[in-house]
Amino acid sequence: MVNSMATATLLRESHIQQDHTAWLGEVRIALVTLGMKMDACQENWEFDFRKEYESGSTPFDAAVHAHDFWWQQLLAESRDECERVA
């Protein structure tokens, strides 16, 4: 019985991961329509896509949230740089 439960859990987690992977692919496409590339931005400022997925955000809504987050980070960095130079 334990093995059956473990197998069921693994299958459920695999299904969730597959769904997350497909969802994330749609987020990537939505980000391109917003003029942003996920990998470049995510490398500099990590956005919590897992949290967006688990909260039930649509791929487009998650893309908009990431877009806004990355722009805020970029502007804060630019502001800090301007203050150092001034």
Question: For 4-60, how does the pLDDT look when each residue is reduced to its tens digit (9 = 90+)?
Answer: 666 555 545 554 556 999 999 999 999 999 999 999 889 999 999 999 999 989 999
Q: What is the pLDDT of residue 58?
A: 92
Kindly report the pTM of this predicted structure.
Answer: 0.72
Structural domain boundaries, residue 53 = 2-85
DSSP 12-81: HHHHHHHHHHHHHHHHHHHHHHTT--HHHHHHHS---HHHHHHTT--HHHHHHHHHHHHHHHHHHHHHHH
HSE-up of residue 42 (Cα within 13 Å, Cβ side): 14
What does the pLDDT look like over 76-85, one tens digit per residue?
A: 988 777 777 6
CA distance 37 to 64: 12
Residues present in the chain in total: 86
Count of structural domains, the chain:
1
